[in-house]
Every structure is written in C-alpha cells, then in structure tokens.
C-alpha cells in the first residue's frame, strides 16, 4: 500500500505519495512556479536534477532546491510573498 | 595611427578615469590594458569618506564631490546607490571613536550623525539590539566599478583609443608591448597597480589579498553600507591576516560581504580559514546572516605603497612618467580625484588639493631619513 | 560539522559511482559515496513514487547498501575543498568534511540546453528534467507533450511520458534521418541496445526538425517547429527539451584535472592527470550506463590498487566506448541550431541576460563582468554550457562554493587538520 504524507505549501495543507519531491508537489498547487524571476516572471522547476537552481524555495525556513528535496511530513514550503499574492489574491 | 599625447597603462577604474579626464582636456590618449582582472573587477565598489589622516580625508572628500557630478549621468547598470555608510560600534568605548570621527569629518564639511543604540536600530532595524551605536555618514554610496570603468572609456569619445596588450618594458617616451608593438607619447601614466613594480624596476607596491562573498538575491533587509568602526585597525595592520566587517546591500537584493586582508599572498585560491573568520565576523553583527545562501566567493589583490597611501604625480626622477598607483582599497572612491589631480599636474596647472602628500618623492626621503 | 575519513571517496552515486564503490570496497578499502540526490542511482536510476528500477540497478544498490566497507552520504552536495584531499559538503540541515586518500569523480552529465524564444515559460522543462520530475511524482496524465532536442534520451523521456498517462504530440529530433538510420543499422553489435531502442520506438519521432519557439502568455500553449525550411505550430501543454548530455566537469576543474575536449581526461586505469584522483562515467565522456558501469568498476579496482582486476574490465569498456562513439556521431548537433537562439532569447536564465545583449563580449569573462551573464545562483552551469556550444568559450574554473551554500556552513569550516 502506498504511504501518503502531509505538508503545507504557502500554508495550505497538501497530501502526497511518500517519495514525492517538493518540485513535484508544487505542481499540485494552483500554480507550479517555485519563484519569480528577476523581472517577475514565474519560474517552475526546469532541470529536475539540481543544476539550474530555478526551483529554489524556502523549505522549513531555509532556501533549498525543490527538485532535490523529498517531501517530509509536516514540512513547511513557502514561496515568495509576491508569487503567493499573484496566484491566490 | 598618429602618436598619442598620452599613454595610460591599466584600464581599471583609476586608469579609465585618468584616460577619460585627459581626453576631456583635449589630449589624444591610448589606454593599454592586459585584459586580466584587477582590483576593479574584484572589489566591493564603495564610495566612502575615509579619514585616517588629513590628506586622505582631503582626497576622499574632494573625490566624493567630483563623483556627485558624475553619478547622476551613470546608466542604471553601473548600480550606483546613495545608501550612505553606518559605522558600527560593538562596545560603548567605540562610540568615542565615532565621535572623534564625526569631528574630523565636520572639519572637512562632511556631514555625519552619531546614533545611539536605539537610533541605530531605528535607522537600520535588521541590525538588532546588540550594538552600542554608530555613526551615520549619509554622503557615501556604492556602485559597480567594472561598468563604471567601461563607461569612462566610452564617454572619452574619439580622443581615446583602448587597446588590449601587455606593456612589458617602459623606456620613456616609449612602451614596448609583449606582442612587439611599440607606443610612444610624451606622457606615460602608470595605473597598473603592482604591475608597475616591474616596469619601474622598483618595489614600491605590495599586494594585500582580499576575499569577498556574495549571497543569493533576497528581499531587501538592509538599506545602508555597514562597516565596523574597528575597520581601520584591520585595514592598516601591516602583517598577518585580518578581517573586518563590511557589508553592502546591492541593488540586486544580494548582500556583498567583506572584508579580509593578507599581505604578499599572490595565490588567488580562497583561504577557507580566513573566509570562515570573515563570515563569522559578519554574523557577529547580523546573526540572521547564517541562514542565507552564499552563491559565490572570490579573491582580489589590492596594491599598497610602503606607507599605505597612494602614489600620485610625476615619477621622482623619470620625466614623462606619471604614477596613479597604490590606492589599496580606495581606488573606486578616489578615482576622480586621482584623475583630476594627474590631469592638472600633467598640464602644469594649479591643483585643487595639495599634491605634496601623494608624490612618490616621499619614498626616497623616507629611505634617506628613516 | 562532521569530520569523516575514508580511504576512497567517490563523488556521485550513479552507475559509475556504485560500480566504483563495489570495486574499491572489494579490496577491503573503506569507501564513502557522496551524492547530491536523495537516494543512490544517479539520474538514470533515479528512484521515486511508482518508479520500478531495472534489475541491474536494484542489485547494485542492494550490494552497496549491504557492503560494510561502504558508507553512503545521500543528499550531500559537494561545495568546496577547504584543505588538500578533502570534500566539504552540505547535507540537509548539516554539513561536513570528508578526508580521503584517493578520490573517484563520478559526477555524471547534465543536459545541454540551448536558448530559444520562450524557453523560460512555465510548461517548458529539460527532457531529462521532465523524466526526473516524473520519477519524483509529477503528474502529467492527459497532458499533450512535445519532446525536442537530440539523442536517445528524447525517446526515453517519451516512454516515461506515455507510462505516466501523458500524450506525446511529437518528438522533434534535430539529426537527419540518414544519420539516425546509419546508427540504427550498426546497432546489431550491441543487442542489449537494440532491445532497449525497439521498446522506445515511437511513430511521432520527427528527424531533421527543431523547435524554434515556445509560445504562450503566462504558460506554454504551443510550440513552433522548423522542418525542411517550413514552420508550423503544435498545440501542447508541455515542452521538454534537451540537446544531448555534457560531462559535469566542474569538480574536476576545481581539482585541476586536465580535460580532453569537454570531458575529464583519464588513462587506461581511469586515473586523471592529478595524482590519486580517478574519474569514471559520463564526466569522462558521455556513453550511457553500460560504459559508466565498466569504467566505474575499473576505477574502483585501480584506486584500490588491484591492477589485475582493473585490467580485466578493459575489453568490456572498449565495447561500450565504440557504442558511445557511434551515438555521438549520430546525434552531432547541427550548427543551424544557433539560429533558433535569437538575440532576444534569454541566455542566462538567472540574471535574465539576452543572447543579443552580450553580442560584443569577446569572452565569458567579459560577458560576466559587463553583462552579469552567469552571475546568478546556477553559476553559469546552464548558460556557460550554452555559450560554449554557441561561441566556443571554454567553461571557466568554478569558484567555491560550487553551489549555493549557507553562510553558517562556510563560517564553520574547521581549521586545517594537522593530525597526519
């Protein structure tokens, strides 16, 4: 049986299959971007393997790569405030 | 190509500013650069009023006044910010140092304002509550020096010819380049840092290695350049390795963190111990820094004269050879003053500030009268 | 900060690293495998929800985890070399220094990405990137997906997409049909590969074609395809691009290892030009997992001093090197791809530097200093490789830290160790 775990992304609870990366979990939210580019364009994960740095995101208070970080129960994932307000406000 | 009126060796911020100023004075200038990164590429890019002695204060004050005419014309990518400097006191006794500094600055009509611990946190809340106070110098700023150097060259117009080549021999009025080219001019101005040692067959310049670190982009948290009041003690230590806290919030949202000093080490590789000490010093002042990501660290080489002050003006006994050397960590701040001073001296004009403290002839006198 | 010691450190736990670890540990050496990914296997054997790994991968992983001489540090990024014969790493909320006597670089390869209009739009990923994200749990069920670029990896990505319930709209391959056919005709020499490629065959594969633009406002809605002088648009939800693989040489450059072409130079025993540093797998030249396994095994034995067993792997390695050469010539990139990289295409994604903006820069150094190209968090890993392909600028020697690192980690680097 597949195990599931719960975490929050921008304060919203989300349940994923154990082993899912934070990058994959982002695609389950209303918008898959991890961050905004310097001109304000949304940027989702790109290389998927820890090279391009596009998916850096705040995980439990630290900026890390979503694609190299497996989801853990109780994890807090937070995107930049601008991105949140753009997509949820 | 017609022979130029002046050859400037070195296209860092100092050489570029000199070439620009000379071209504006009507000289045809050839600027020669070896294309290798120098202190301009590696440094922090601060415009800071330094007051370790009256001559230095005169030069930095005058240079900052000249900068104020230049800055509004710089394109955005030169990243000039009018952020001012907060000199930070960790201990109460350092506040006395701040007050003395204020007096010295006031003597040169430079505005500054002592800040109590509460006033300091009000001005820069991210500093937290651990400090004794500080001194705010609102006239200081920051910029991105490699772009500004390029701007000087572009602004000089047709009178300036910029070539890439390595000057290997100086036989005034000629210079010989490694690729065999020869250039000739009645004025040869050396702005090539410690590269001048070989050309002059002197040992006037020593290098002081420095290391810097820059963070990823973050939402802005700081608004001023931050420097510890103990900076001078580190900057003037003549031996060993030292660190002093200096931090700039860059317009990108990155934090540029310095500083370290080490004499006579030409190895460009990072010294991880010294980097660690420098970062720990920064975390003493801003404990929250520890959680931020650094994306790059690098080293660079300041060049310093035996007495730590720049060598500006004519070579003591080689007519036609002019020096703009040994700016150490103040090349960006004092580039315009250097350029104006040299242009006046070369033209035989009166200078706006006293040139005597900067003449290289002082080195010979020191040798005679130790 | 942890301080760990080992006889042989291996950087990278893909096929080469796993094979090297087993080879080195067989002689009783204490081995530590350091790897950036959450679990061993590299990119080709990346594990995740619903992934069923091939038997070879499962066997190797099990053998490594059961071997008492092998310690595995997962999720550990190599960031610096603060003293000779060390690897400093950051791992989750922790960091450490690994002291080694011998080092085997098994850093693998990454996808070459070439800039084109729209390639930063949400919906566009790397081809290997999409495959990796699928293995991490990304859902693409019902989505229309275009896969573009060059090489066999496009077919593997398409297979992963189909398996995940996505619809492959087209596979856009830059190489001309005759080259691909020639490659296919020679494959009888490697029957294992014939079986693999037959399983991957896809009628939507389009040779001699290129994606010239990704279209859409705030996310991808279509792509523009070039073929035989004409252009057409395909509606899709996702685009996955990759122009083949390039060796990850940054750690080798940091250690001063000489290169051959774009890969780390090694001798018959997988020894680099620097004493006590070996290299194996795709960082020494792209060639697939079979070649990486062969090289890794040789490197492991050689680093442990077991010359005889190292030699016994030479023939197997040579067989797969021939395959690598055949694949390389089949998928050589056409210079025409330079045309899709229009002046307004972003070269540097991090700092948003357009290709046209650095047109006057004579070299990478000036592109960086004057235009901020490569100054962002990826440190030029993506744009530096694109610039090398476009203009021939070599990758610069990386600076420490090799990837973004917490200030706390570098502030607590232990002082030099004088105990030995």
Q: Mean per-residue pLDDT for B265-291?
A: 95
The radius of gyration computed from the CA coordinates of chain C, to the nearest angstrom, equals 21
Residue C417, pLDDT score: 66
Measured in angstroms, the CA of B329 and the nearest CA of chain C are apart by 19
pLDDT tens for A26-81 read 999 888 899 999 999 999 999 999 999 999 999 999 999 999 999 999 999 999 87
Q: Mean per-residue pLDDT for C115-119?
A: 97
Write the residue in C47, C131, C381 that is nearest to A52 by C-beta: C381
Interface contact B296, partner A, CB < 8 A: no
Residue C157 has pLDDT above 60, yes or no: yes
Residue C198, pLDDT score: 83
For residue C304, give Cα distances in angstroms to C20, C320, C399: 10, 23, 30
pLDDT tens for B55-86 read 999 999 999 999 999 999 999 999 999 999 99
Q: How far apart are CA B367 and CA C18, in angstroms?
A: 66
Q: Which DSSP string do the residues of B55-113 spell out, in sequence order?
A: HHHHHHHHHHHHHHHHGGGS-GGG--B---EEEEESSTTHHHHHHHHHHHHHHTT---E
Residue C195, pLDDT score: 84
**Minimum CA–CA partner of B255 in chain C:** C407
If you search the block for the tokens 């105990």, which residue do you land on? C419
A partners (3+ CB pairs within 8 A) are B, C
Residue C140, pLDDT score: 96
Residue C395, pLDDT score: 94
Interface contact A78, partner B, CB < 8 A: no
Interchain CB distance below 8 Å, C415 and B147: no
Interchain CB distance below 8 Å, B293 and C404: yes
Are C376 and C351 contacting, i.e. CB atoms less than 8 angstroms apart? yes
Q: Which residues in chain A are closer than 8 Å to C136, comparing Cβ atoms?
A: 19-21, 23-24, 48, 67
Are B290 and B283 contacting, i.e. CB atoms less than 8 angstroms apart? yes
Q: Mean per-residue pLDDT for C187-204?
A: 87
Interchain CB distance below 8 Å, B216 and A56: yes
Residue C420, pLDDT score: 45
pLDDT tens for B7-19 read 999 999 999 999 9
Are B76 and B151 contacting, i.e. CB atoms less than 8 angstroms apart? no
Residue C386 has pLDDT above 90, yes or no: yes
Give this prediction's pTM: 0.96
Measured in angstroms, the CA of A62 and the nearest CA of chain B are apart by 7
Q: Which two tokens stand for residue B45?
A: 């890019």
Residue C219 DSSP code: S
Q: CA-CA-CA-CA torsion for B135, B138, B144, B147, nearest 10 degrees?
A: -150
Cis peptide before C384 (omega within 30 of 0): no
Residue B97, pLDDT score: 95
**Paired sense of beta strands C124-126 and C238-243, if any:** parallel
If you search the block for the tokens 């963190």, which residue do you land on? B257
Q: Which residue has better confidence, C49 or B212?
A: B212
In Å, the largest CA–CA distance within chain C is 68
Q: Mean per-residue pLDDT for B148-176?
A: 97
β strands within C179-333, DSSP E: 205-206, 209-215, 222-227, 230-235, 238-243, 245-247, 259-260, 263-264, 277-279
User: Which of B302, B329, B212, B207 is CA-nearest to residue B259?
Assistant: B212
Residue C217 DSSP code: S
Residue C83, pLDDT score: 94
Question: Which helix or strand (DSSP H or E) is residue B274 part of?
Answer: helix B272-285
Q: How far apart are CA C115 and CA C348, in angstroms?
A: 9
Residue C252 has pLDDT above 70, yes or no: yes
Q: How far apart are CA B154 and CA C109, in angstroms?
A: 42
Measured in angstroms, the CA of B357 and the nearest CA of chain C are apart by 34
Question: Which helix or strand (DSSP H or E) is residue B160 part of?
Answer: strand B160-164
Interchain CB distance below 8 Å, B280 and C411: yes
Q: Which of B293, B294, B295, B296 to mutate to test the interface with A (most CBs of A within 10 A)?
A: B293
pLDDT tens for C270-287 read 999 999 999 999 999 999
| Residues of chain B numbered 218-277 and touching chain A (CB < 8 Å) | 219, 252
CA atoms within 13 A on the CB side of B298: 19
Q: Which residues in chain A are closer than 8 Å to B292, comparing Cβ atoms?
A: 63
pLDDT tens for C290-309 read 999 999 999 999 999 999 99
Measured in angstroms, the CA of B344 and the nearest CA of chain C are apart by 31
> A32 Cβ partners below 8 Å, 6+ apart?
A26, A44, A45, C122
Sign of CA dihedral C140, C141, C146, C151: positive
Measured in angstroms, the CA of A27 and the nearest CA of chain C are apart by 7
What rounded mean pLDDT belongs to chain C? 95
Measured in angstroms, the CA of A2 and the nearest CA of chain B are apart by 35
Rounded to the nearest 10 degrees, the angle between the axes of helix C383-391 and helix C364-371 is 130
Residue C26, pLDDT score: 95
Q: Mean per-residue pLDDT for C231-236?
A: 97
In terms of Cβ atoms closer than 10 Å to its own Cβ (0-12, 13-18, 19+), residue B126 is middle
Residue C419 has pLDDT above 60, yes or no: no
Q: Mean per-residue pLDDT for C37-51?
A: 92
**Minimum CA–CA partner of C51 in chain A:** A19
Residue A22, pLDDT score: 97
Residue B238, pLDDT score: 64
Interface contact B293, partner A, CB < 8 A: yes
Residue B365 has pLDDT above 90, yes or no: no
Residue C50 has pLDDT above 60, yes or no: yes
pLDDT tens for C323-375 read 999 999 999 999 999 999 999 999 999 999 999 999 789 999 999 999 999 99
> B356 Cβ partners below 8 Å, 6+ apart?
none
pLDDT tens for B229-247 read 987 776 666 668 999 999 9
Q: Mean per-residue pLDDT for C97-112?
A: 98
Write the residue in B147, B272, B283 that is nearest to C413 by C-beta: B272
Write the residue in C365, C369, C377 that is nearest to B216 by C-beta: C377
Q: What share of chain B is helix, strand, coil (3-state, %, to 5)?
A: 35, 30, 35
Sign of CA dihedral B276, B282, B287, B291: negative
Are C40 and C89 contacting, i.e. CB atoms less than 8 angstroms apart? no
Q: How far apart are CA C150 and CA C246, in angstroms?
A: 12
Write the residue in A23, A47, A68 that is nearest to C37 by C-beta: A68
Q: How far apart are CA B159 and CA B20, in angstroms?
A: 9
Interchain CB distance below 8 Å, A50 and C137: no
Residue B370, pLDDT score: 36
Residue B37 dihedral angles phi and psi, to the nearest 5°: -65, 135
Q: Which residues in chain B are closer than 8 Å to A63, comparing Cβ atoms?
A: 216, 292-293
Q: Which residues in chain A are closer than 8 Å to C382, comparing Cβ atoms?
A: 47, 51-52
Measured in angstroms, the CA of A11 and the nearest CA of chain B are apart by 20
Q: Which two tokens stand for residue B340?
A: 């104006």
**Minimum CA–CA partner of B150 in chain C:** C370
Interface contact B76, partner A, CB < 8 A: no
Q: How far apart are CA B86 and CA B83, in angstroms?
A: 9
Q: How far apart are CA B297 and CA B317, in angstroms?
A: 42
Are B333 and B46 contacting, i.e. CB atoms less than 8 angstroms apart? yes
Residue B212 dihedral angles phi and psi, to the nearest 5°: -135, 160
Complex-level ipTM = 0.95
Interchain CB distance below 8 Å, A51 and C75: no
Residue B1 has pLDDT above 60, yes or no: no
B partners (3+ CB pairs within 8 A) are A, C
Helix (H, G, I), strand (E, B) or coil at C40: coil
Residue B223, pLDDT score: 97
Residue B236, pLDDT score: 64
> C346 Cβ partners below 8 Å, 6+ apart?
C115, C119, C120, C352, C353, C354, C355
**Minimum CA–CA partner of A64 in chain B:** B293
Write the residue in A56, A61, A81 that is nearest to B291 by C-beta: A61
Q: Which residues in chain B are closer than 8 Å to C401, comparing Cβ atoms?
A: 294-297
Interface of C with B (CB under 8 A): 80, 82-83, 88, 365, 369-370, 375-377, 379, 399-401, 404-408, 410-413, 415-416
Residue B90, pLDDT score: 94
Q: Which residues in chain A are closer than 8 Å to C95, comparing Cβ atoms?
A: none
In terms of Cβ atoms closer than 10 Å to its own Cβ (0-12, 13-18, 19+), residue A18 is middle
Q: Categorize the per-residue pLDDT at C64 as very low, low, confident or very high, splitting at 50, 70 and 90.
A: very high
Q: How far apart are CA B272 and CA C88, in angstroms?
A: 11
Are C353 and C220 contacting, i.e. CB atoms less than 8 angstroms apart? no
Residue C1, pLDDT score: 86
Residue B128, pLDDT score: 82
């Amino acid at each position: 049986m597949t195990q599931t775990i719960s975490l929050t992304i921008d304060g919203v609870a989300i349940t994923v299959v154990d082993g899912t990366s934070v990058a994959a979990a982002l695609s389950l939210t209303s918008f898959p971007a991890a961050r905004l580019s310097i001109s304000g364009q949304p940027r989702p994960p790109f290389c998927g393997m820890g090279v391009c740095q596009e998916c850096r995101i705040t995980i439990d208070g630290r900026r890390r790569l979503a694609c190299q970080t497996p989801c853990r129960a109780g994890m807090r994932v937070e995107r930049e405030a601008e991105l949140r307000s753009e997509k949820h406000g | 190509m017609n022979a130029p009126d002046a050859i400037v060796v070195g296209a860092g911020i100092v050489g570029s500013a000199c070439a620009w100023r000379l071209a504006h004075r009507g000289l045809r200038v050839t600027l020669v650069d070896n294309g290798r990164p120098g202190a301009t590429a590696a440094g922090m890019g601060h415009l800071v009023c330094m007051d370790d002695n009256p001559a230095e204060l005169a030069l930095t004050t005058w240079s900052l006044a000249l900068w104020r005419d230049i800055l509004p014309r710089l394109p955005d990518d030169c990243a000039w910010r009018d952020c001012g400097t907060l000199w930070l006191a960790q201990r109460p006794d350092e506040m006395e140092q701040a007050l003395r500094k204020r007096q010295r600055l006031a003597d040169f009509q430079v505005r500054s304002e002592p800040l109590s611990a509460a006033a300091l946190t009000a001005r820069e809340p991210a500093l937290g509550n651990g400090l004794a106070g500080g001194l705010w110098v609102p006239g200081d700023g920051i910029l991105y020096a490699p772009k500004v150097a390029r701007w000087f060259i572009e602004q000089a117009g047709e009178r300036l010819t910029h070539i890439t080549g390595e000057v290997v021999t100086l036989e005034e009025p000629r210079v010989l380049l490694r690729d065999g080219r020869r250039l000739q001019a009645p004025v040869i101005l050396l702005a090539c840092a410690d590269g001048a040692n070989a050309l002059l067959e002197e040992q006037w310049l020593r290098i002081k290695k420095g290391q810097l670190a820059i963070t990823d982009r973050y939402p802005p948290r700081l608004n001023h350049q931050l420097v510890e009041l103990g900076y001078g003690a580190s900057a003037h230590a003549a031996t060993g390795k030292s660190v002093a806290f200096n931090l700039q919030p860059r317009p990108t949202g990155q934090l540029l963190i310095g500083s370290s000093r080490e004499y006579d080490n030409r190895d460009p590789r990072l010294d991880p111990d010294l980097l660690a000490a420098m970062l720990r010093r920064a975390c003493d002042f801003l404990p929250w820094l520890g959680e931020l990501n650094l994306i790059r660290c690098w080293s660079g080489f300041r060049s310093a004269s035996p007495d730590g002050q720049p060598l500006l003006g004519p070579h003591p006994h080689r007519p036609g050879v002019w020096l703009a050397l040994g700016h150490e960590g103040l090349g960006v701040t004092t580039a315009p003053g250097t350029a104006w001073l040299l242009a006046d001296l070369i033209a035989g004009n009166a200078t706006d500030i006293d040139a005597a403290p900067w003449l290289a002839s002082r080195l010979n006198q020191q040798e005679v009268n130790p | 900060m942890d301080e760990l010691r080992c006889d042989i450190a291996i950087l990278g736990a893909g096929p080469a690293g796993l094979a090297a670890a087993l080879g080195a540990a067989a002689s009783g050496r204490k081995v530590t495998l350091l790897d950036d990914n959450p679990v061993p296997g590299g990119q080709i054997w990346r594990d995740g929800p619903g992934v069923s790994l091939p038997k070879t991968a499962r066997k190797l992983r099990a053998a490594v985890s059961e071997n008492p001489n092998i310690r595995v540090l997962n999720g550990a990024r190599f960031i610096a070399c603060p003293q000779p014969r060390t690897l400093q790493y950051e791992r989750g909320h922790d960091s450490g220094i690994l002291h080694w006597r011998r080092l085997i670089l098994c850093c693998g390869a990454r996808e070459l990405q070439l800039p084109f209009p729209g390639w930063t739009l949400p919906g566009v990923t790397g081809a290997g990137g999409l495959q990796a994200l699928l293995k991490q749990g990304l859902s693409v069920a019902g989505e229309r997906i275009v896969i573009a670029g060059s090489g066999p990896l496009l077919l593997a990505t398409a297979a992963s997409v189909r398996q995940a319930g996505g619809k492959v709209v087209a596979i856009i391959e830059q190489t001309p049909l005759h080259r691909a056919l020639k490659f296919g005709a020679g494959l009888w020499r490697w029957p294992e590969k014939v079986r693999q490629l037959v399983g991957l065959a896809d009628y939507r594969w389009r040779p001699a074609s290129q994606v010239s633009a990704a279209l859409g406002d705030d996310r991808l809605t279509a792509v523009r395809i070039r073929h035989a002088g004409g252009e057409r648009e395909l509606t899709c939800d996702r685009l996955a691009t990759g122009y083949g693989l390039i060796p990850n040489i940054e750690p080798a450059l940091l250690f001063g290892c000489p290169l051959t072409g774009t890969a780390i130079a090694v001798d018959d025993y997988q020894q680099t030009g620097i004493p006590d540093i070996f290299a194996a797998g795709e960082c020494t030249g792209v060639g697939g997992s079979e070649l990486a396994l062969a090289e890794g095994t040789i490197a492991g034995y050689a680093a442990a001093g077991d010359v005889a067993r190292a030699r016994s792997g030479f023939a197997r390695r040579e067989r797969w090197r021939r395959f690598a050469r055949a694949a390389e010539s089949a998928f050589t990139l056409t210079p025409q791809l330079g045309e899709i990289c229009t002046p307004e295409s972003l070269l540097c994604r991090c700092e948003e530097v357009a290709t046209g903006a650095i047109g006057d820069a004579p070299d990478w150094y000036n592109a960086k200093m004057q235009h901020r190209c490569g100054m962002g968090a990826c440190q030029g890993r993506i744009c530096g490789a694109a610039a090398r392909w476009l203009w021939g600028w070599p990758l610069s020697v990386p600076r420490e830290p090799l990837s973004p690192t917490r200030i706390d980690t570098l502030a607590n680097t232990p002082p030099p160790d004088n105990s030995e």
